[in-house]
Amino acid sequence: MSLTHLLAQYGYLALFIGCVLEGETILILAGFAAHQGYLSLPAVLVTAASGGMLGDLLFFTLGHRYGAAVIERFPSWQDRAQQVRLLLLRYHAGVIIGIRFMYGLRIVGPVVIGASEVPPWRFVLFNLIGAVLWASLIGGAGYLFGHALQWLLTDLKHSEEAVLLFVIVAAVLLTLARRWRSHRH
């Protein structure tokens, strides 16, 4: 079974699951795969926005239901949770829309917002806007990366599986390095 066959068969499912949790890396890869013709860009954007929305809603619900107890359970979240609280006081709607773009706040943010006084309907509305913007910008960046790479490599079709494998390995290594770095701090 080839990498392209696996991508075509399980790409959207992997994208959805990845976007429920964090998703930037897998969304860039999916945008790149859409440029290569393995996935559909509109389907990538809808899948990513749906997964991102669902993930944030799950974390919001966790915070809404269990409040500060969830945040206290994870000592490493304390500084980030305080940062979200302060931002939420000043930029209510902007924080809900932009939380997914803020490094290190993708999971903590919705939990803190859920533990605050933000009504669920308001979170869902602004989270929808944020998810669509996020999916469009990050997925579009992956698509444009594919376009730029194709422009640089005039004969990309001969080596597209190797390039796709290289991009996947580079993305995984980058994600692992980010997690290692954040875990160290």
- In whole angstroms, give the CA distance from residue 185 to residue 171: 21
What type of residue sits at position 132?
V
- In whole angstroms, give the CA distance from residue 28 to residue 30: 5
**Which residue bears the tokens 């979170």?**
123
pLDDT in tens, 95-149: 999 988 888 788 889 999 999 888 999 999 999 999 999 999 999 998 888 877 7
Task: Look up the domain containing 92 and give its range.
Answer: 3-184
Taking the model in full, what pTM does it have? 0.78
Instruction: Give the N- to C-terminal CA distance of the chain in Å, as an integer.
Output: 40
| Distances, alpha carbon 167 to alpha carbons 11, 18, 29, 70, 105, in Å | 15, 16, 7, 36, 25
| Distances, alpha carbon 89 to alpha carbons 3, 95, 112, 113, in Å | 47, 9, 12, 11
pLDDT in tens, 146-176: 877 776 666 555 666 777 777 788 888 888 8
Residue among 124, 142, 136 nearest 46 (CA): 136
Q: Which two tokens stand for residue 62?
A: 């966790």
Q: How many structural domains compose the chain?
A: 1
